Chains A and B, each alone.
Chain A
C-alpha cells in the first residue's frame, strides 16, 4: 500500500450530506469480481448525463477539479452499502483524501485499508477549503490552505497504518502466537463456537 504522508492539491467540493456508496459507485458499475476498472463508474449517476456524456455541472467534470486529489463533503459521507468498490473507485480516479463533516463507519475503515485518508472537520472549515490548494499533513494531523490551518483527530492505529503504508493482514499475522493461544483457550471454554462437525 502506498504510504500517506503529506498531500497538496486542489479540494473539490461535493458539499452534500449523506453521499452514499450507491452514488459513489452504483451496483451496476461493479462489473467484475476484481478491484480495478472502477474509476469509470465513479459517481456515475451524477457525473454522466444521458448517453454517458459528461454532465458539465458535476464538480469532477469541471476543468479546475477534474484532477483534484481531495474531495470535500458533508455529514455521513460513504453511508449505505459496505462495498469497498467505493474506495477503490475513488482511489483509481486519483482521490487520496476525503475531508468531510463525518463518515459512515464501514467506508472510513475501507479507506484506511486502501491508503485513502478520511479527515473529519467541522462544516465551516470544510467550506473554507472549497476550491483551495490544500495541504494535508498526516503526521502533524493538520490541514492548511490560504494561510489558515486546522488540526484533525485521528486514532493512532489507522494513522500508523496510513503513514507507513502497512498491510493490516501482514501486521496482524505477527501476533499469530497470541491469536493461537487465545483460540486454544477459547476452544475449551466455548466449544460450540468451533463447529467441529462442519470441518
Chain B
C-alpha cells in the first residue's frame, strides 16, 4: 500500500511474505501462545502428521483454562477428566521444545495476562493463540488475534497463516471517563450501541483522548472485548506509556529506539473503512441484562425489549430496573478484569465493608501468579478476605463452566468476565457482566448496584 496507512495495514504489510495464486496473503506469525484446553490437541495432531514446530523458541504454552484455583493445587482439577488436558499438554510441550508455564510455575497465569507481563507480546508483532480473547494483547500495539486449533497448527508448522486482509475500523473515544467508569464500561457501551456483530470483518483500532488516558491494563480490558464485537481484533497504537511499561520485561528487547517502533501508529490522513466516535464522558457504569454482551445497559437503566428467549432465560421482563436485582454469586477475575489495577479498584470499594450475607459465593481470582503476589504484597488479599471474598490462585476459573466449579441452575452471578451467554457459567446460570467496580458494589449490596452510589 502507498499513501497514509493505518497501524493495522503497516503491521500487515511488514509481515507479508507473499500472495497466493488465489489472492490470499501469507502473513508471518511472530508468536504463538497455547493453553491446555487445546494445546495438547494441536501439538499431538502435528506430531502425528510428522510436522515439527518450525521455531519452538517463539511458541509458548500455559495452564490456565481448567486449572484448579484453590490453594495447594496440582494437576488435579474439578473438571471431570480435566487432569488429562494438563498432563497431555505438558508432555506435548516438552516433546515439541516450546516454553511452558506450568501449573505451579511462578509465571503461571491467564495467557492474555502473562504474555504482556513477560514481554512476550510486543508492539508491531503478530501473535496468535487458539483463544478468542487473544485480541486483548492488541493493547500493546501488536496485531494479535484468536484462531482455531488447525490454524494454530498451521502457524506452528509453517510460521505463517493464509489470510485475507481485514477491513479497518477506528473507534475514537473523545472526552474523558466519569468517576467509577472504566474500560469495561467503554467496551460494553460500544457493544450495546453497535451490536455484537458490529465489528465483523474489521480489525478495530481504539483511539482518541479517552483511550490515550487509559493505563496499560485498562487498554487490555478494552481490546479484550473486540472479539465480542465480532472484530478480528482490537489494537491501540503504542505510545510512551506502552514502551515504558514494557521496558525490562523478560522477553522484551532492551530498548525501543528507532523508527521501527516510533512509526507504529496510523498516519495522519489514513483512511479507515469505518469510523465510530463515542463521547466517553457520556458513558455510565454498564451491565449486561441478557444473553449477549450487546444486551447491556447503564446500571441504573431499565431492561429494554430484547429477544423473548433472552428475557425468559435471565428471568427479567422489559421495563424492570436491573439495580436492586438480588445476586447469588460475585466473581472478579478473567482475562478481561483480573489485573492488579482491577483488583485495586475493587478493593478500594470493599475495604472495611462486608459482602451481603445473602451472597452464596464471592471469588477473587487474580489473572496471574505475579498479579497475586503483587496484590498480596500490598494487602489486597486481606481486604478481600475481610470483606468475605475467597482469594484464589490464578486461572480462568468461573469465566466458563467446564463441568467443575459451578452453581445451582437459576443462580444469578455478577461477573467481571466477557460473556453472558446462556449456560456460559453453567446450565441455567444467569450471568451479568460488568466492571470490577460494579461487581464489588453489587457484592456488598447483595444485589446489582451502582458503584457511583457507594461513597
Contact = CB atoms under 8 A, between A and B. Distances in A.
B289 interface: no
Contacts of A159: 22
B18 A178 contact: yes
Given A102-B200, A106-B148, A194-B58, A169 B402 contact: no
A125 interface: no
A159 B24 CA distance: 11
Contacts of B196: 18, 76, 79
A45 B428 CA distance: 9
B148 A168 contact: no
Contact of B84 (A18, A27, A33, A87): A33
Contacts of B172: none
Interface string B97-117: 001000000000000000000
B26 A172 contact: yes
Contact of B17 (A81, A178, A193): A178
Interface stretch (B34-42, B277-285, B330-338): B34-42
Given A17-B307, A45-B422, A26 B401 contact: yes
A23 B400 CA distance: 12
Interface string B29-59: 0100000011011001100010100011110
Contacts of A79: 196-197, 228, 230
Contacts of B200: 76, 102-105
B223 to A, nearest CB: 16
A192 B228 CA distance: 32
Contact of B421 (A80, A113, A156): A80
A41 B401 CA distance: 14
B25 to A, nearest CB: 9
Contacts of A178: 17-18, 26
B366 to A, nearest CB: 21
B260 A190 contact: yes
A148 interface: no
B85 A33 contact: yes
Query: Among A18, A20, A155, A199, which residue has the most Cβ atoms of chain B within 10 A?
Result: A18
A53 interface: no
- Chain A interface: which size bin? 35 or more
Contact of B427 (A45, A83, A190): A45
Interface string B143-169: 000111111011001111010100000
Interface string A160-190: 1000000011011101101100110010011
Contacts of B307: 16-17
A12 to B, nearest CB: 18
A79 to B, nearest CB: 6
A137 interface: no
Contacts of B274: none
Contacts of B7: none
B26 A179 contact: yes
B401 A194 contact: no
B150 A31 contact: no
Contacts of B231: 105
A195 B80 contact: no
Contacts of A76: 196-197, 200, 230
A110 interface: yes
B419 interface: yes
A105 B201 contact: yes
A157 B84 contact: no
Given A82-B148, A194-B58, A26 B232 contact: no
Contacts of B84: 32-33
A82 B293 CA distance: 16
Interface of A: 16-18, 20, 22-23, 26-28, 30-35, 45, 75-76, 79-84, 87, 102-106, 109-110, 113-114, 155-157, 159-160, 168-169, 171-173, 175-176, 178-179, 182-183, 186, 189-190, 192-196, 198-199
27 contacts: A16-B309, A18-B292, A20-B419, A22-B422, A27-B402, A30-B37, A35-B149, A45-B423, A76-B197, A79-B228, A82-B132, A82-B147, A83-B38, A105-B232, A106-B132, A110-B151, A155-B23, A155-B24, A157-B22, A169-B157, A171-B162, A172-B154, A172-B158, A173-B158, A175-B20, A178-B18, A179-B26
Across the A-B interface, the 6 shortest Cβ-Cβ residue pairs: A28-B403, A84-B148, A157-B24, A192-B253, A110-B148, A76-B197
